Amino acid sequence: MTRVFSGMQPTGVPHLGNYLGAMKQFIPLQETGESFYCVVDLHALTVPRDPEELRRRTRELAGFYVAAGLDPDKATIFIQSHNPDHAEGAWLLQCVARIGELSRMTQFKDKGQGSESATAGLFTYPVLQAADILLYQTDVVPVGEDQKQHLELTRDLAERFNKQYGDVLTVPEVRIQKVTARIMGLDNPEKKMSKSAASEANYVSLLEEPKSILKKFKRAVTDSENEIRYDPEKKPGVSNLLTIHSAMTGHSIDTLVEKYQGKGYGHLKVDTAEAVIAELEPLQARFHNLMKSGEIDDILATGAKRARAATAETLTHMKKAMGLSLQG
Ligand code: AQP
């Protein structure tokens, strides 16, 4: 049976990019394999955070997983720090990873910006991400395009570990959605939509009110022409709207291009906003109910037990292979 693993950071309310690039593709995968979806709270510690806010965001992100359609009877939903094997496995892999390859990670270069005061955790977190994945003997990792380089590192570490210590780890495949791999910022379609963007006009969060969604789409940056055409290079703004519209409605991009011929950008913007509102309204209702009921805490308690049970054997194999003395 195929093992699927993915995680998201509880660093804010997830946005449309997180939803379309990652979360939405989790849902069908729970039907075909054994899947583990993690809230990676340890990763969130790589930059300073308010502790109370981090705790709240962590629980909320698990709520978003369920509200988006993950079924806790089919998929394991859990918090990374509830399974201590992740941190231990990360140390073992840090002793296999090389400073050179970690220095080349673009996310470290972007977020750390070569600053002496960037945390050591920011530098090594791709190794923790590799441990997250490899401890579950994962076959498939569904993520957005920005995670591609980290997934290549994960594969390299698994291959190197196996070469050095024997065949212990499964080398996972990355699964990136073709069209929604990189949802762009509404205020700047040259850059990906991002939780940490300087302006709120960049993203639509999963908890955004309909009025605000409409306003943000109406103000979305496009170009000075008036031709609706899918061309991410030359028309990134319009192409981003078509991508979001298509992902929300299930209509192909070609169908949409035909539908909006000669209609102008205003129509496309308003219809895209309405398609987003139609998908987010029921998701938001499910989310608020889950948060109120406390059901999410039971789901996370069960998830933690299942996650620990799933990683124990691999961690023991890794330790044994590396020459650590085992207890008992
Ligand atoms: N714009 C995006 N389009 C498609 N997929 C995206 N992802 C993130 N942004 C986009 C995917 O969402 C998953 C969870 O990512 P994360 O929580 O680790 O956050 P991130 O990749 O660091 O990006 P964020 O959410 O915008 O946060 P910041 O601003 O802190 O970088 C991953 O599968 C990711 O690929």
- Does ligand 1 have an atom closer than 6 angstroms to the CB of 24? no
- Domains of the chain, each with CATH number or no CATH: 3-176+294-322 (3.40.50.620), 200-287 (1.10.240.10)
- What is the average per-residue pLDDT within 113-139? 93
Which pLDDT tens digit goes with each residue over 174-194?
Answer: 999 888 999 999 999 999 999
- Stated as kind and residue range, the H or E segment containing 278 is helix 265-293
Q: What per-residue confidence (pLDDT) applies to 109?
A: 78
Residue 191 is a catalytic residue: no
ipTM attached to this prediction = 0.96
Task: Please tell me the distance between residue 172's alpha carbon and the centre of ligand 1 in angstroms.
Answer: 20
Q: What is the pTM of this model?
A: 0.95
Q: What per-residue confidence (pLDDT) applies to 162?
A: 98
pLDDT of 260 strictly over 90: yes
Q: Which residue in 74, 148, 195, 259 is the catalytic one?
A: 195
Dihedral sign for Cα 63, 65, 70, 73, please: negative
- Sheet with 34-39, strands from edge to edge, namely 75-79, 34-39, 3-8, 140-143, 173-176
Number of neighbouring beta carbons within 10 Å of residue 250 = 8
Residue 216 is a catalytic residue: no
